[in-house]
Structure 1
Amino acid sequence: MLKILVAVDGSELSLDGVQHTLQLLKQGLQASVVLAHVQEPATLYELVTSRDPDLIAAASVEAGEHLLASARALLDAAGVAYETDIGVGDVAHTLVDMAEQNGADMVVIGAKGHGALSSALLGSVSQEVARASAVPVTIVKHAQVVELPDAED
């Protein structure tokens, strides 16, 4: 059975990746799901002001669990079983490592949908994951809502 690692950061954009994965499963894809979240490492200030590194690690895991809540709710509502994985580090490379460690056959990640120029200037986690991953990566763009003008009677 395929294993899909779905990157989640708590944003609406990352939930697009969860929705896309749910669509694949509803269409008959047999796969297991891993919801993955990566916390940025503690800042130097956080390390210096905290006397307990375990407290910082616990806070990172707690924050990660909180940011996974919406994605978990979507999968729970759909009756889809899943695992979770929370990492700490550089987001793109940690996601690639998590995919390997979890034996994922593919990664699904939301994207901001920047144009080519701004993506080149700003960089992109989704693009870096796609570049560095040994498995296929599906980048799900956020659906644009188009408002239609009111019909005149």
Structure 2
Amino acid sequence: MKNILVAYDGSETSKRAIDTAADLIASDARIHLDIVNVVSIPMLSDDQASSFAAILDLMKSDAEEVLADALNQFEGKHQQNGVDTLLVLGTDVASEIAKLIEKNGYDMVVIGSRGLSGMKQYLGSVSHKLLGATKVPVLVVK
């Protein structure tokens, strides 16, 4: 295993996903960890998109803060491992994560069972979709 992706949205389960990923990579300094936050944007026409630009900037800024929190949470746990953050824009969070997995060749994905959407099911919609959308192992943290 060389590359692990953690989906992070600031929810309690995504914080536990960071902790779990940190434990996974603790034994091997060669494992690289990427933490991704996907900014979910609605499908918009060109006219709508231009008026949505200011809101999108705020959403990106919020996502950057969420990723900074993720790095702060990870900091000090395993300094020998490389860690990067990724900010992705897309209309469907699970699809964007699946594309990222394919593009960057991750060996595993770690994701919380439920995100900030407030879903009360055992698996949130993103983690559930991701299980069927990728061929790499998906570790769902409760």
- Aligned to 2:24, what secondary structure does the other structure show? helix
Structure 1: unaligned runs, 5 residues or longer? 142-153
Paired position in structure 2 for 1:139: 140
Deviation by residue 1:37-57 (Cα, 9 ceiling, x = unmatched): 11111475xx6385474x455
Q: Contact 1:50–1:56 at 8 Å: present in 2 too?
A: no
Alignment length (residue pairs): 132
Q: CA deviation at 1:129?
A: 0.5
Greater C-alpha Rg: 1
Q: Answer whether contact 1:107 1:137 (CA < 8 A) is retained.
A: yes
| Pairing 1:110–2:112 present | yes
Identity of aligned residues (%): 33
What residue identity is the alignment partner of 1:114?
A: Q
For the residues of structure 1 that align with 2:135 and 2:6, how far apart are their CA atoms? 15
Higher relative contact order (CA 8 A, sep 6+): 2
The answer (yes or no) to whether the contact 1:75–1:81 under 8 Å persists in 2 is: no
How far apart are the structure 1 equivalents of 2:42 and 2:132?
26
Q: TM-score, normalised by structure 1?
A: 0.73
Cα–Cα, structure 1 residues 51 and 73, in superposed 2: closer, same or farther, change >3 Å?
same
Aligned match of 2:126: 125
Matched position secondary structure for 2:76 = helix
* Alignment RMSD: 2.6
